[in-house]
Structure 1
Amino acid sequence: MLRKNQQFLTQVYMVADMAVIQASFLLAWWLRFESGLFGFVYPIPIKYYLVWSLVYGAIALLTGLISGLYSPKRRKRFADDFIRVVQTHVIGFFLLLGTMYFAKEINISRSYLFLYMALSVVLIVLYRYVVKQVLRTMRRRGYNKQYMLIVGAGALGRRFYLNLQHHPELGYDVVGFLDDELDWKKGQTEYPEVLGKLDDLQAMLDRFRIIDEVILAMPYGHSDRYPELMEICERAGVHTMIVPDYYDFLPTRPVFDNFAGMPLINVREVPLDLAANRFFKRLFDVVFAAIAVILTSPIMLAVAIGVKLTSPGPVIFKQERVGFNRRTFQMYKFRSMQAQVSDDEDTGWTTENDPRRTKFGTFIRRTSLDELPQFFNVLLGQMSVVGPRPERPHYVELFRERIPNYMLKHHVHPGITGYAQCAGLRGDTSIEKRIEYDLFYIENWTLLFDIRLVFITVYKMLTDRNAY
């Protein structure tokens, strides 16, 4: 049943994509030739454009099928869908140009083609985003559900169940557990009941025909049962997924590799290890920082004057921080505290009602205006717009011994803002929790994730009460 539904959804998405592509064709035609926005151009008859639009639609659908654009999306992030849509249409565009070249078609307007491609991508991304949000809302309300059976009621299985409860938008319900050692009835614990032993898997699949997926979450020592259990699920036509017992050692999005014909899990490969991702992130940083410097120049001038008039000392406060690959750099901020009298390094942690702050400094810290000079750190390549916040060498040495995986944050450039800060973890808050958010960001980076965090930061600048 699940596979039939997925095939149906694949067909619906393909029909919808073709419809949007043809709607983009008509809209691009009107904008280019009839709206007057591009001046009057007498085009060749629309039927010639229509033929190539249908050809492009077929190319885009075929490319999407090959690239996995129409694979099941319930568990996927929208960022993944966005990337696949862009990749599909970029490849499809060049295939269309190649086809037109071999067909010796030279009369199609190039500006029209560009407009057509851009509209196709934008409209497909928009409608897919709307569909995803509607489906998530429906699932939160109990519609469009899928059902799971968890094999293994130990710590691993229970942890998977609790994590699943934090994501109601995925629309999964757990019908129960199977376990050879643990046993409890419905209502005795916060977990669904243990329905039987591992040998009862076939009977449970026959009894609960609504089960779509089986989760194997057994301790490492029981892995010898996997082949038998997986064969039972395959015969029943039910998807099987394995939660590895070494879950805590893996990133949130592990990369599967192949070496000498054997599947391997790459434990620490992250999206920004790819040169293309680093290029686009750096391009975004430079463009955003340059625009930010230009737009905020009057504000920075006003803040500089305010700092100078309200307390003696330099306007810019420079402090050594640890950045990418553990290299140190001088991070810039508008000075918000009394100037240090001695040359000794201040290793004190900023706290609420800190007596070292000036009155004007309290204001610019509360509104994050003191961070504006860090856009110059971004332009110098020392920081990124979004990333883990950099820390002083004194605290890096302290935390690296106390907090597991702390040093992994230095695999990417530090940021002016970050996922932890957007979650309210600023000022005197849990370092362990910050690292948890930083690692999630590193392992799940996308350009859309960066853009989303920038918008959240702008909103939080005047509302976050943890900054002091």
Structure 2
Amino acid sequence: MTAQVTVEADDLYMGHSGRADTQMVRAALYLVLALLDTAVVITAFGLSDVIRHRSVTDMLTISYWLIVPVFMAVSFYVRAYSYTTLIARHLSIWKALTAIIGATAITIMLLFATKNSTDVSRVAFFTGTLLSIVGLTLVRLPLPLLIKRLGSSFFRHVLIVDGNFTENIPPDVERINVASFGIRPEVTDPLMLHRFSKLVAGADRVTVSCAVQDRERWSFYLKSVDCHGELLVPELHSLEPLGNAHGLGLAGVRVSIGRMDMRNRLLKRGFDLSIAVIALILLAPAMLLVALAIRLEGPGPVLFRQQRMGRTNRLFEVLKFRSMYVELSDGHGNTSTARDDRRITRVGRIIRATSLDELPQLLNVIGGSMSLVGPRPHALGSRAGDNLFWQVDRRYWLRHTIKPGLTGLAQVRGYRGSTDNEDDLIKRLESDMEYLTHWSLMTDITILVRTLFVLLHRNAY
């Protein structure tokens, strides 16, 4: 089997539908709702001041600097801004009221602890709370109607048809016949995985109708692209199971769920951006010196670009400082780098030993194709012993359910360098799967700190 898979640049960045990602639409709606909530709370406590004192006093200041920040923190904690909350009016109202009541209770405790409670009018305070409850409720009443009007822009449901399918489907379900795209669920073909992942990119739910003998492979495909996926099982339809396929009224079996919800993705993305931008600014002088050294040593580009598997098994171009002679560079990664490798330049040996060659990947992080922490992206031709990585263990595709990282749990445990045998890959894979299962922001912070102590490593060559 050849590992030399090349994808055109347009295919790297263009999806099937060309529509806006529904998650971005929902994120925009969450932001607007949060701003409305903020305005409601500030207005409510400002009005309570006017009602009680005929003028604006300290109550508005307290709401602006204390109640609103606490309200936002509690809202985030109780997931007041989420898909499941917004589509259910009663749940949306309940979460908002929980947040404002919790915020006012915490504010009272803070005022009491700082001995400032005597300066606050109780009538104005509780009037502001009551007005906030009314205002937050009114804001949420029309939300289901708005979401219904947004339709597939708010929630995208894709039906993948592999074979015959004669059932009627609702108009808001997008039907895709994969045969017209030449796609088959081949778990040994990275290009096929990439194409399928691009086809369903941005979908919130993916349902597959296929032949019985293909269900196992389609199930693995759904897991590998990190989506809420299900398989239609017509033979169960007469039983009317509770888990009917969402929106289709047909019997379905859920086989995969997204690894991270939007809340955690935004949290991780915000952390990545804040650290990567600062790191890029601080390390810019060092990067310029490395670029100059590479340029002075000999002809060839400063940066090395290579296609690697990214999140949901979609290909992307990873950036590194070039550390090999141009004529000896291995663009597909078919040969692992060895100690005293003759392909490596003099400057290359230094930057590889100190991990400076990886610094351009900060641009990948800022651009969104990588994260600071995650499974390291591998070249398509990478081998463990005599076999390609995905031939050693099929779980290899599942490690891509989140963005690849500049560093990862496997790296801080010392699993880096060449993979001379299959066990070298298995150890890294097990660490990657452990990271996916137990991810938290604190885990990322811990791995970043531990990375500082392994930048110089005996396997860094």
- TM-score relative to the length of structure 1: 0.44
User: Relative contact order: is structure 1 or structure 2 higher (C-alpha 8 Å, sep ≥ 6)?
Assistant: 2
- TM-score relative to the length of structure 2: 0.45
